[in-house]
Amino acid sequence: MNTMRTYGKNISSTDGLWFKTGLFALLAALTFWIFQQFDSGKKEASVRERENPGEQSIACQVPSDLWPTSTTGVVVRHTYYILSYAEEHEQAEWVAYELLRERLQQPWVERSGAFRPDPAVPTRSATPADYSRSGYDRGHLVPAADMAFDTLAMNETFLMSNISPQVRTFNGGIWRELEENVRDWAKQLGMLYIVAGPVLTRPALGQIGSNRVTVPAAFYKIIYAPRQRSAIAFVLPNTLSKRPLVEYACSVDDVEALTGIDFFPTLLSGANERLEATVDKSLWPLSSKRYERRLRQWNQQ
């Protein structure tokens, strides 16, 4: 009898042990399944982010109706400007932003100068090293001076996605002259919408760096004054120029035909399409003193 009771107790103890082991295994399996679902969700979100960079959670302040079309499908949003990245050329095909009088009137923050890769580009951007000893400047598409009202805005302009190889006397010459005239216009008119970029449809001047960054043969800049309902564009060859800026002025339609990009597709549609085909140069005065300074000083640097 005592043996039977002992055996019975052993059976009960063994059953309890198996029950506890089974329960532990079930809880472990459930925990693993929950972790897998969470991890899978993170991976799917990561894939969606790479495939749809426009879904980034950045608080972009650029109005959506200012955005041009993207021929690459890779739109990257930053706080104060957006861009369409062309991986084949390792640079943006366009950048777009607002230029406001009140921002230009604020005290300038310290210039950053810290060029760095853009982590928001899903295929990775060019690097500062691509430009080292290349003979070309790291040319800004969104000028640092246009974003000097805020430290974050300034720092964003030094991301390599906003940089394109420019001939030094172009960058510091006619491109600089155009940038300074545009800031004058923004102060006079109050608000401008700007789109700028390299002309990637013409034969390139070459490639630089391990990432084989395309050296564009020309650059364009489009300026639209929404309050005055007027637009002007410029296409400038990436070289030293002694010609007046006005000789490079053209219509928005001209740049669209050259690049294959539709600029201001929402703003300049329907009855406003005529603005894309015309250039009213009277609204866009160019500084003769600045032109003379380019010839005398900037082109020599």
Beta bridge partners of 224: 193, 231
Is 7 a residue whose pLDDT tops 90?
no
DSSP 301: -
Lowest mean pLDDT among 28-37, 64-73, 192-201, 221-230: 28-37
Is 20 a residue whose pLDDT tops 80?
no
Q: CA 161 to CA 201: how far, in whole Å?
A: 18
> Which of the four pLDDT bands, split at 50, 70 and 90, describes residue 268?
confident
Q: CA 8 to CA 186: how far, in whole Å?
A: 93
Same domain, 85 and 224: yes
Q: CA 279 to CA 183: how far, in whole Å?
A: 19
pLDDT for residue 42: 35
The tokens 């109050």 sit on which residue?
Answer: 190
Two structure tokens written together for 223: 């300026």
Same domain, 33 and 60: no
> Which of the four pLDDT bands, split at 50, 70 and 90, describes residue 24?
low
Domain-ending residue, one of 29, 51, 73: 51
Give residues with Cβ within 8 angstroms of 122, minimum separation 6. Answer: 49, 50, 51, 53, 74
Structurally, how many domains does the chain consist of?
Answer: 2
Same domain, 6 and 114: no
Q: Is 89 a catalytic residue?
A: no
Mean pLDDT of the chain: 86
Same domain, 42 and 169: no
DSSP 22: H
Average pLDDT of the residues in 14-30: 53
The tokens 């062309």 sit on which residue?
Answer: 86
Q: CA 100 to CA 228: how far, in whole Å?
A: 14
What predicted TM-score, i.e. pTM, was given to this entire model? 0.81
Average pLDDT of the residues in 159-180: 98
Nearest alpha carbon to residue 279 among 249, 244, 243: 249
Domain-ending residue, one of 34, 51, 68: 51
Give residues with Cβ within 8 angstroms of 145, minimum separation 6. Answer: 108, 179, 183
Same domain, 135 and 1: no
- Residue 124 backbone dihedrals phi, psi, to 5 degrees: 75, 140
Helices (H), the chain: 2-51, 101-104, 151-156, 168-169, 175-189, 252-259, 274-277, 288-296
Domain-ending residue, one of 51, 70, 88: 51
Catalytic residue among 140, 176, 221, 294: 140
Is 21 a residue whose pLDDT tops 60?
no
Strands 249-250 and 230-237: antiparallel
DSSP 149: T
More confident site: 113 or 44 = 113
Same domain, 57 and 40: no
Same domain, 38 and 144: no
pLDDT in tens, 97-135: 999 999 999 999 999 889 999 999 999 999 999 999 999
Nearest alpha carbon to residue 53 among 30, 83, 28: 83
pLDDT for residue 48: 33
Same domain, 81 and 36: no
CATH classification of the domain holding 68? 3.40.570.10
First-to-last C-alpha distance (Å) of the chain: 110
Type of residue numbered 301: Q
Same domain, 47 and 58: no
Q: CA 299 to CA 173: how far, in whole Å?
A: 5
Handedness of CA 158, 163, 166, 172 (dihedral sign): negative
Strands 206-208 and 191-198: unpaired
> Which of the four pLDDT bands, split at 50, 70 and 90, describes residue 23?
low
Same domain, 18 and 80: no
Same domain, 25 and 159: no
Nearest alpha carbon to residue 90 among 59, 132, 123: 123
- 44 is in which domain, residue-wise? 1-51
Is 22 a residue whose pLDDT tops 80?
no
pLDDT for residue 278: 85
At residue 241, the 3 state secondary structure works out as: coil
Same domain, 43 and 175: no
Is the CB of residue 126 less than 8 Å from the CB of residue 211?
A: yes
Q: CA 221 to CA 198: how far, in whole Å?
A: 9
